[in-house]
Structure formats: structure tokens, C-alpha cells
Structure 1
Amino acid sequence: MIKINDLFFAPLIPEAQLLSRVNELAAEITTDYRGKSPVLVAVLNGSFMFMSDICKAIDLPIGITFVKIASYSGTKSTGEVRQLLGLEFDLSGKDVIIVEDIVDTGKSMAYLLDLLNRENPRSLEIVSLLLKPAALQEDLQIRYIGFEIPDLFVVGYGLDYSGQGRNLRSLYQKTEIQ
């Protein structure tokens, strides 16, 4: 059990299990994109640890860029998406893979898909470490999913609570037990 600010969190997915699944996802991407050079678009800030680990495990020449969008306030999605930082290069005609930490309601991802589709990529796929099917409000096709989790608030491995907890090596779930 750990405490971050005013909330308590219990272990959910340990580091070894996270890294094992990240390596499996990287192997799938390597196989699926053999002979290609996909561009990975990491969604900041939450995906930075996931992006770091998965891009090191993909055995292909890859491009890397970042976008920053926001839709959370505290532990809840606001339902409104803001783009804070844009793409660094042209995605036209490229195979693009969005690297996301978590797909919750799907509103941020739907916004990002619309934004990136305007760049005319050859293909556009999503790899998300976490998916909350019970919270999903958008019809999304997520090709690579690390873990499906219940609709609960999580921190660690890049995900935060009010700016804290991103550096935790494992994932933790919010709990009422102290």
C-alpha cells in the first residue's frame, strides 16, 4: 500500500508483468511491420515510460515523435480534450502507431485519431498499455492492448495523480482501504 497526496493505492500490476507484456507487444509490432519503418507517436505525459520501453524492444527502424493532449483533472476525465504540444514532422504516407498509456473514455484517442488522420498517414494504429472497456464511450479499434482493467483510477509506470506517482515502476489502483 502506498499513499500519494491524499489517496491510498494498492498494487495492481507489478513491474515484471508490465515489462513482459511490453516485450510481447513489441514483438507483435516487429512482426506486423517487418520491412517497414513505422513512426511511433507517444502521447505525453503518461506514456513516457511505456514509450521508452516499447521502442527499445521493437526490432525495426522507427521514427519517434510526441504529442501532448490533456483531458484529466484529478482522478476524473473532464470529457474535454486540449492539444498542448504538436507533431514534430510530416506523417503523410507513413505507417503511424500511437503509443498511449491508457484508453479510458476514448475521447482523447478519438480526438487524436482525427488529428492524425488529417496528416494522411498510410496506416494508423494504436498500442495502449491499458484499456478500460467499462469506461469506453467511443468506438475505437485498438490493435495492440497491454492489459484490460476495470474502471478504476491507476498510478505508476508513467501515470500520475496530481503530478505524483509517475516514477513508480509498477501500477497501483486507488483504494479506500488505508
Structure 2
Amino acid sequence: MLTSQQIADRVRQLGTEITRDYRGRDLVIIGVLKGAAAFTVDLARAIDLPVVMDWTAVSTYGRGSTAGTPTLLKDIGEELAGRDVLVVEDILDSGATLSWLMARLRKQAPASVNCCVLLRKPHTVAKPMEPRYVGFDITEHWVAGYGIDYAERHRNLSDIHEVRLPSAALTASA
């Protein structure tokens, strides 16, 4: 679906945009584990600014199916009051997880809270959510690779691939 070269090129472009937009500001990058780990690290290296990085983990997906309600598994340690926050996420699907997380972060009174998503599925976004930075728009298919998993597998692939589900899995998740 997306080659490692396409991903690397787009990450560099996003890094340039973020560098321009946040120059002279106190930027905290918050990566959402586990899926956005590779993207977050590569993006931080493409940003030509001093940044602080932190990590959070939110569970909404089970092994290949959506679970629905976001659950915080790991909180951040950084103080956000008065600082600019950029949440880095792997996929914007329904928008429920990202909306929930950003609302939670806003309660800490940051100067700003924006998000950067590697992949956006524009046809499935149900919550009003417009990320400031988007790597790629994709179809509603399941994907894996470049840190993104399917049932905790395939994160180590350097390209992003469409996951072809067996017919039984499609029926069960529909």
C-alpha cells in the first residue's frame, strides 16, 4: 500500500512543516503507543527543533476488532501547562480515541494541542476531528507495518500493507 520510501519522504515533509510552524515554541511531542512508536521517532528526527518527547498508551482495539471505549494504559509524565503539544498517532479511524485523548490533554492547560496522524481513513471518521498534519489518506481497510499491527503482528514490516482478512473474520467484525 505504501513503501518505506514513500513513508520516509512524507515524514520528512511533515517534519519540515512542523519545524516551520513551531519554531521558537516549547514543543512536547506525545507519541501514542504502540502503533505510532516508529512514526513518532522518525518524525521527531525530521523536526529541526529542540523537542521533548513523551509517550502515552490508550487501548481501544482488541486483537483485530474494535473495542469501543478508550482506556488509558500509560499516562504521560511531562507537565503540559503553557506548552505546545503535538500528539502523534498512527491511524485516525473513527476519531473516538484521538478526540478522547486530546480532550484529556487539554485539561492540563497547554498553550495548544494539535495532532499529527500518519494515516487517516476519511470515510470512517465519526467524531469531528481534523488533525493539523496528515501523512496519507487511505481506504477503510485494515493495514499493518511500520509500527502498525494486526493482532500484535507485522509491526516490524518497513512498508505498510493492506491486511486481507479471512471471510469469517470479516463477517465477525461486521
TM-score interval, smaller chain: over 0.9
CA distance in 1, matches of 2:140, 2:63: 15
* Of 142, 148, 165, the match for 2:154: 165
- 1:1-178 to 2 correspondences below 5 Å: 12-175=1-164
Tell which deviates more after alignment, 72-81 or 92-101.
72-81
TM-score (norm 2): 0.93
Q: Percent identical across equivalent pairs? A: 34
Q: Please identify which structure carries the higher helix content.
A: 2
- Per chain length, whose mean CA-contact separation is higher, i.e. which structure has more relative contact order (CA < 8 Å, sep 6+)? 1
| 1:96 Cα offset (Å) | 0.4
Q: Please identify which structure carries the higher strand content.
A: 1
Deviation string for 1:66-120 (max 9, x for gaps)?
0000101122322111000001121000000001111111110011011100111
3-state SS of the aligned residue for 1:168?
coil
Contact 2:85–2:114 under 8 Å retained in 1: yes
Contact 1:47–1:100 under 8 Å retained in 2: yes
**Moved runs in structure 1, 4+ residues, more than 4 A?**
none
Aligned residues: 166
Structure 2 residue identity aligned to 1:148: D
Contact 1:36–1:60 under 8 Å retained in 2: no
CA distance in 1, matches of 2:88, 2:105: 13
CA distance in 2, matches of 1:79, 1:147: 24
3-state SS of the aligned residue for 2:41?
helix
| 1:162 Cα offset (Å) | 1.4
TM-score (norm 1): 0.90
3-state SS of the aligned residue for 1:92?
coil
Aligned to 1:3: none
Give ranges in structure 2 of 5+ residues lacking alignment: 167-174
Aligned to 2:169: none
Give ranges in structure 1 of 5+ residues lacking alignment: 1-11
